[in-house]
Amino acid sequence: MGIFSFVKPGKKAFKTITSVKPNVGSPSRSALNKQIQKTKASGAKLKQTLFESKNKAFKGDDFTFGTTNKKTLSNTEKQKLKEGLYGGGSKVTKKATGGRVGRRFGSPKPKTNVQKIKETFSPKKNLSPKQMKIAKLAGNPNKIDAADFKKLRNK
Protein backbone atom coordinates (compact mmCIF):
# COMPACT_ATOMS: atom_id res chain seq x y z
CA MET A 1 0.00 0.00 0.00
CA GLY A 2 1.58 3.26 -1.13
CA ILE A 3 1.35 6.77 0.17
CA PHE A 4 -1.24 7.80 -2.41
CA SER A 5 -3.36 4.67 -2.29
CA PHE A 6 -6.54 6.76 -1.98
CA VAL A 7 -5.90 8.18 -5.49
CA LYS A 8 -7.34 5.96 -8.18
CA PRO A 9 -5.84 6.09 -11.69
CA GLY A 10 -7.69 8.39 -14.06
CA LYS A 11 -9.68 10.20 -11.36
CA LYS A 12 -9.12 13.60 -9.78
CA ALA A 13 -8.13 13.45 -6.12
CA PHE A 14 -8.99 17.06 -5.23
CA LYS A 15 -11.21 19.74 -6.68
CA THR A 16 -9.45 22.67 -8.31
CA ILE A 17 -9.95 26.04 -6.63
CA THR A 18 -11.40 28.30 -9.30
CA SER A 19 -12.10 31.41 -7.24
CA VAL A 20 -12.16 32.74 -3.70
CA LYS A 21 -15.06 34.84 -2.53
CA PRO A 22 -13.94 38.14 -1.02
CA ASN A 23 -14.86 38.72 2.61
CA VAL A 24 -16.03 42.27 2.01
CA GLY A 25 -19.53 42.97 3.20
CA SER A 26 -21.86 45.90 3.15
CA PRO A 27 -21.52 48.63 5.77
CA SER A 28 -24.57 47.29 7.62
CA ARG A 29 -23.04 43.81 7.74
CA SER A 30 -19.78 45.26 9.04
CA ALA A 31 -21.67 47.16 11.74
CA LEU A 32 -23.49 43.94 12.66
CA ASN A 33 -20.19 42.06 12.99
CA LYS A 34 -18.81 44.82 15.23
CA GLN A 35 -21.92 44.69 17.42
CA ILE A 36 -21.68 40.90 17.67
CA GLN A 37 -18.06 41.23 18.79
CA LYS A 38 -18.98 43.85 21.40
CA THR A 39 -21.73 41.55 22.70
CA LYS A 40 -19.27 38.67 23.01
CA ALA A 41 -16.84 40.91 24.90
CA SER A 42 -19.49 42.15 27.34
CA GLY A 43 -20.64 38.54 27.86
CA ALA A 44 -17.09 37.51 28.72
CA LYS A 45 -16.83 40.41 31.17
CA LEU A 46 -20.08 39.35 32.80
CA LYS A 47 -18.88 35.74 33.15
CA GLN A 48 -15.62 36.93 34.74
CA THR A 49 -17.47 39.16 37.20
CA LEU A 50 -19.92 36.39 38.15
CA PHE A 51 -17.02 34.00 38.72
CA GLU A 52 -15.23 36.53 40.91
CA SER A 53 -18.38 37.24 42.94
CA LYS A 54 -18.92 33.50 43.65
CA ASN A 55 -15.25 32.72 44.30
CA LYS A 56 -14.07 33.27 47.88
CA ALA A 57 -10.67 34.62 46.81
CA PHE A 58 -12.28 37.63 45.14
CA LYS A 59 -14.59 38.77 47.93
CA GLY A 60 -14.57 42.52 48.18
CA ASP A 61 -14.58 45.41 45.74
CA ASP A 62 -11.52 44.36 43.77
CA PHE A 63 -13.22 42.98 40.67
CA THR A 64 -11.31 42.83 37.40
CA PHE A 65 -13.99 44.86 35.63
CA GLY A 66 -15.13 47.18 38.40
CA THR A 67 -18.01 49.57 38.04
CA THR A 68 -17.47 53.29 37.71
CA ASN A 69 -19.76 56.27 37.95
CA LYS A 70 -17.53 58.46 35.80
CA LYS A 71 -19.14 59.96 32.74
CA THR A 72 -17.16 59.45 29.53
CA LEU A 73 -16.98 62.43 27.19
CA SER A 74 -18.58 62.29 23.79
CA ASN A 75 -16.67 63.44 20.71
CA THR A 76 -18.48 66.79 20.66
CA GLU A 77 -17.70 67.35 24.34
CA LYS A 78 -14.03 66.53 23.71
CA GLN A 79 -13.99 69.02 20.81
CA LYS A 80 -15.53 71.74 22.97
CA LEU A 81 -12.98 71.07 25.69
CA LYS A 82 -10.16 71.28 23.16
CA GLU A 83 -11.50 74.59 21.80
CA GLY A 84 -11.65 75.92 25.33
CA LEU A 85 -7.96 75.09 25.80
CA TYR A 86 -6.80 76.56 22.48
CA GLY A 87 -8.51 79.91 22.30
CA GLY A 88 -11.93 79.30 23.81
CA GLY A 89 -15.38 80.49 22.88
CA SER A 90 -16.29 81.02 19.25
CA LYS A 91 -12.74 82.01 18.36
CA VAL A 92 -10.65 78.94 17.47
CA THR A 93 -6.96 79.56 16.89
CA LYS A 94 -5.27 77.34 14.34
CA LYS A 95 -1.87 75.97 15.22
CA ALA A 96 0.87 76.14 12.63
CA THR A 97 1.65 72.84 10.94
CA GLY A 98 4.11 71.46 8.43
CA GLY A 99 7.38 72.89 7.21
CA ARG A 100 9.90 73.70 9.89
CA VAL A 101 7.51 74.21 12.81
CA GLY A 102 9.12 73.32 16.11
CA ARG A 103 12.71 74.05 15.06
CA ARG A 104 14.24 76.24 17.70
CA PHE A 105 16.02 79.52 17.12
CA GLY A 106 15.98 79.35 13.33
CA SER A 107 18.25 76.35 13.06
CA PRO A 108 19.75 75.91 9.60
CA LYS A 109 17.97 73.80 7.06
CA PRO A 110 19.47 70.30 6.82
CA LYS A 111 21.83 69.93 3.85
CA THR A 112 20.98 67.56 1.06
CA ASN A 113 23.49 64.97 -0.16
CA VAL A 114 24.07 66.99 -3.34
CA GLN A 115 25.00 70.08 -1.30
CA LYS A 116 27.40 68.04 0.84
CA ILE A 117 29.13 66.62 -2.28
CA LYS A 118 29.44 70.08 -3.85
CA GLU A 119 31.03 71.47 -0.69
CA THR A 120 33.49 68.58 -0.47
CA PHE A 121 34.70 68.61 -4.07
CA SER A 122 34.30 72.28 -4.98
CA PRO A 123 37.38 74.50 -5.27
CA LYS A 124 38.43 76.00 -1.95
CA LYS A 125 38.47 79.72 -1.15
CA ASN A 126 41.32 81.76 -2.56
CA LEU A 127 43.94 83.05 -0.12
CA SER A 128 44.20 86.76 0.63
CA PRO A 129 47.40 88.59 -0.45
CA LYS A 130 48.74 88.48 3.13
CA GLN A 131 48.07 84.73 3.34
CA MET A 132 49.72 84.22 -0.07
CA LYS A 133 52.97 85.71 1.30
CA ILE A 134 52.91 83.26 4.21
CA ALA A 135 52.10 80.30 1.94
CA LYS A 136 55.03 81.08 -0.40
CA LEU A 137 57.58 80.74 2.44
CA ALA A 138 57.72 76.92 2.28
CA GLY A 139 55.83 73.99 0.75
CA ASN A 140 52.65 74.46 -1.27
CA PRO A 141 52.16 78.11 -2.41
CA ASN A 142 48.36 77.66 -2.53
CA LYS A 143 47.98 76.42 1.05
CA ILE A 144 49.22 77.48 4.47
CA ASP A 145 50.68 74.50 6.32
CA ALA A 146 52.96 73.68 9.28
CA ALA A 147 56.15 74.25 7.28
CA ASP A 148 55.11 77.86 6.63
CA PHE A 149 54.61 78.54 10.34
CA LYS A 150 58.00 76.98 11.11
CA LYS A 151 59.68 79.38 8.64
CA LEU A 152 57.83 82.33 10.20
CA ARG A 153 59.06 81.41 13.70
CA ASN A 154 62.66 81.13 12.50
CA LYS A 155 62.62 84.62 10.90
Contact at 8 Å (CB) between 117 and 132? no
Query: Any idea what DSSP says for residue 8?
Result: P
**What is the residue-level pLDDT of the chain in tens, covering all 155 positions?**
555 566 566 666 667 777 777 766 677 888 888 899 999 999 999 998 888 888 766 565 677 877 777 888 888 888 888 777 655 555 556 677 777 676 667 677 778 899 888 888 877 777 788 888 888 887 777 788 888 888 888 87
The amino acid occupying position 122 is: S
Q: Please indicate, yes or no, whether the overall pTM of this predicted structure exceeds 0.75.
A: no
Domain regions of the chain by residue span: 30-59, 126-155
Alpha helices (H) along the chain: 27-54, 75-85, 113-121, 129-135, 146-154
Long-range CB pairs of 105-110, under 8 A, 24+ apart, other chains included: none
The amino acid occupying position 149 is: F
